[in-house]
Amino acid sequence: MSNLNYGISRRGLLGIFAATALVAAPSYSNSAGFMRGAGDIRRVKMYSTRTGETLDMIYWIEGEYIKDALAEVNWFMRDWRQNKLSVIDTRTVDIISASQKLLDTSSPFLLLSGYRTPETNALLRSSSRNVAKKSLHMTGQAADLRMQGKSVRQIASAAWSCAAGGVGRYSRSNFVHMDCGQERLWGK
């Protein structure tokens, strides 16, 4: 028996799997079960309003994070102002994924802000009192998101159901902050 190489890379195989996984994906009644690793896959789907890039990625299969997929998440959620990236905490990615699953939609999250360098955070702080001096964005543990067709209340409710970190509601600016820090809820 010969060892044939059919020219299918791991990424190609994951792409094929992603196209069929939605049919086989289990249904979760709440994000707590999802966050504990129930089921076979975890997927994140986002669009960056800042760079025009799209991410539709299965990043976890049967209890294992996929290193190459997480590297793409890190790049996608980079500080676009400085074009620098950081490792995004997988707990934050899990909260985003679980929230999307709870919202029961195929729409992507619109990423407004992921990782921020200290320089970018200081720049944003200089023009807004809502930017924390020690923001979890600077450690790759937070994201600011919105979703077409979903209200701030709906998105925040889904994220809060994860019971896995902080959720900030910014109704005037139409986005939700999600992080994997201590559990807390703020904003309107």
Could you tell me the CATH number of the domain that includes residue 104? Answer: 3.30.1380.10
* Residue 1 within any structural domain of the chain: no
* Residue 102 within any structural domain of the chain: yes
Query: How would DSSP label each residue in 19-40?
Result: HHHHHHPPP-SSHHHHHTT-SS
Four-point Cα dihedral 12, 54, 40, 10, nearest 10 = 20
* Residue 51 within any structural domain of the chain: yes
* Residue 2 within any structural domain of the chain: no
Structural domain including 82 reads 10-187
pLDDT tens series, the chain, 188 aa? 334 433 434 444 344 444 333 333 333 333 445 455 456 899 999 999 899 999 999 999 999 999 999 999 999 999 999 999 999 999 999 999 999 999 999 999 999 999 999 998 888 888 877 777 888 998 999 999 999 999 999 999 999 999 999 999 999 999 999 999 999 999 98
* Residue 3 within any structural domain of the chain: no
Q: Against a cut of 0.75, is the pTM above it?
A: yes
How many other CB atoms are found less than 10 A from the CB of residue 170?
A: 18
pLDDT in tens, 39-82: 689 999 999 989 999 999 999 999 999 999 999 999 999 999 99
> What domain count does the chain have?
1
* Residue 109 within any structural domain of the chain: yes
* Residue 183 within any structural domain of the chain: yes
